[in-house]
Chain A
Amino acid sequence: MLSSMILGRYIPGDSVIHKMDPRSKIIMTVLFMAIVFMANNTLTYAALILFVLFVLALAKLNPIFVIKGLKIVFVLLIFTFLMHLFLTKGGTVLIDAGWFTIESEGIVRGVFIGTRLVMLVVITTIMTLTTSPISLTDAIEKMAHPLKKIKVPVHEIAMMMSISLRFIPTLMDETDKIIKAQSSRGSTFMTGKVKDRIKALLPIIIPLFVSAFQRAEDMAIAMEVRGYTGGEGRTSFRVLKWTFKDTLGIIFVILFGVLVWWLRT
């Protein structure tokens, strides 16, 4: 159930997209998001879809796998579509049932906004699927560096982010283990009345918290004994390297933006 979810997951690989600098990937993603909001007719939306499929191919990701992994998002998608279907008025009236009408503009808007949503989710998913969480936070730290001038604790925030990201898989494993241990003891949090199910969560949550705090404490001690005192003067083990393909990628996205601008009505 949880295992097929790919939101926020990273799959190591060797595609061009994997090898790009995380900073350029963030910039390209943001640019693409802006472009998504420029699209306003069939042609531009079609261009967006083609572009995303092209990027998926470059990243050597199977579109079917990505779509399947984003099942949860589709609930949101259907909701958006239905909202537009019933609430947007204009065009010809297709169905008139007295207390509600469905008009052609509603369908068009529903499809467009739905596509927009999917494109936004898929492109950010491509970014996280192809970039390790650690390099993402590295990139964010580098890019937010100027904010230090106005006393934003950039390094500390980035450190917190990378520690949290680092522990997500560990905690998932831990949860899995504890669920298994308690299930073996006959704990039934999958069946029964809602009240019973909530009660059955305690045997899972309590050990999880205990071990999370234990880990946090161990981590703090380990950092302290190794002389961690914050970001001042720290160098990085993984050095981010901006290459020609990063520049090229950004130019390509900008050109695509120009194309969409030209095609929109």
Chain B
Amino acid sequence: MNILIDDVSVTYQPKTPFQYHALKNISTEFRTGKFYGIVGQTGSGKSTLVQLLNGLILPTTGTVKIDDLELKRRTKYKMIHEVRKYIGIVFQFPEHQLFEETVLKDVMFGPMNMGVSEKDAQTRALHYLNELHVDPALYEKSPFDLSGGQMRKVALAGILAMEPKVLILDEPTAGLDPSSHKETMELFKRLREELKLTIILVTHDMNDVFEYSDEVRILEAGRIVESGPTEDILTDQKLLERYSLNLPDVVRLSHDLIRKGHTIDKIPKSIDEFIVEWRLRDA
């Protein structure tokens, strides 16, 4: 699914003293099968932008096109519901959305809302719980009896079971320890390859963006100020400094070494990858 955002503005609480222009005349595109990173200072409008894509927020002006489905200021609920079949959002702390009696039922909630039969919903739920390595012994337990990490996986399975074509991740790794962080990101990478998903990742972690994304959008004060291939934008120190963003660690290290006279043809995607290559070089 191609997503086209055409001259969209969003104003929160219009005509009150709390009025706030969160997005100002934004136009951009997200193409099928790519991995996008959205970065920007806190309050720059990242969450607002991604919530536009599945109709949680409607544009104040402008249009969001998802293939031939259109979202506008006064779009009817039926259309929004349709859009949500294709676009799934994983919010920060997704475990807060669990509510059913059992893990299995909770994962089936989404697909069943979308008109999938109970039998098929169960098949899907079992498939994705398995995919996320959730222990089958937990399926009939209450989701509130699980550990934080397990809850998060169940919540994620609940979204994947809806089989969206586009998966939006709004700071999905907030509050995770480094190893769970790595595990979650690898999972998204794997899902993307297996299910041919388009992924849009909102994050403050420049290392993740550099390692996983194909393209970047930088937001500042409600505008998209840069957009392009990840390796061009995230290696440009001057440009990132302008928006108070950091270079990814591996880029900084590579730049330092290049300045010291080492040759690095292609900057590796992550520190781990860098270490592997560096050791090979010595051998």
Contacts and interface: CB of A to CB of B under 8 A. Distances in A.
Given A3-B18, A65-B17, A184-B56, A177 B81 contact: no
B54 interface: yes
A185 B77 contact: no
Contact of A184 (B15, B16, B89, B96): B89
Interface residues of B, number: 29
Contact of B88 (A62, A178, A184): A184
B162 A185 contact: yes
B96 A191 contact: no
B109 interface: yes
A19 interface: no
A190 B55 CA distance: 14
A243 interface: no
Given A11-B17, A188-B113, A181 B96 contact: yes
Contact of B81 (A3, A11, A188, A207): A188
Given A3-B13, A186-B162, A207-B98, A180 B91 contact: yes
Contacts, number: 70
Interface in B1-44: 12-13, 15-18
Interface string A161-200: 0000000000000100110111111111011000000000
Contacts of A211: 96
B144 interface: yes
B17 A180 contact: no
Say whether chain A's binding surface is mostly helix, strand, loop, or mixed: helix
A206 interface: yes
B96 A183 contact: no
B94 interface: yes
A247 interface: no
A239 interface: no
A182 B13 contact: no
Nearest to B95: A207
A68 to B, nearest CB: 8
A203 B114 CA distance: 15
Closest CB pairs A-B (n = 10): A186-B113, A206-B99, A181-B97, A185-B110, A184-B89, A3-B13, A203-B99, A186-B114, A180-B56, A207-B99
Given A3-B18, A181-B96, A187-B109, 20 more contacts: A65-B16, A68-B15, A174-B96, A180-B56, A180-B91, A183-B56, A184-B56, A184-B89, A184-B91, A185-B97, A185-B158, A185-B159, A186-B81, A186-B85, A191-B77, A203-B97, A206-B99, A207-B96, A207-B97, A210-B144
Interface of A: 3-4, 11, 62, 65, 68-69, 174, 177-178, 180-188, 190-191, 202-203, 206-207, 210-211
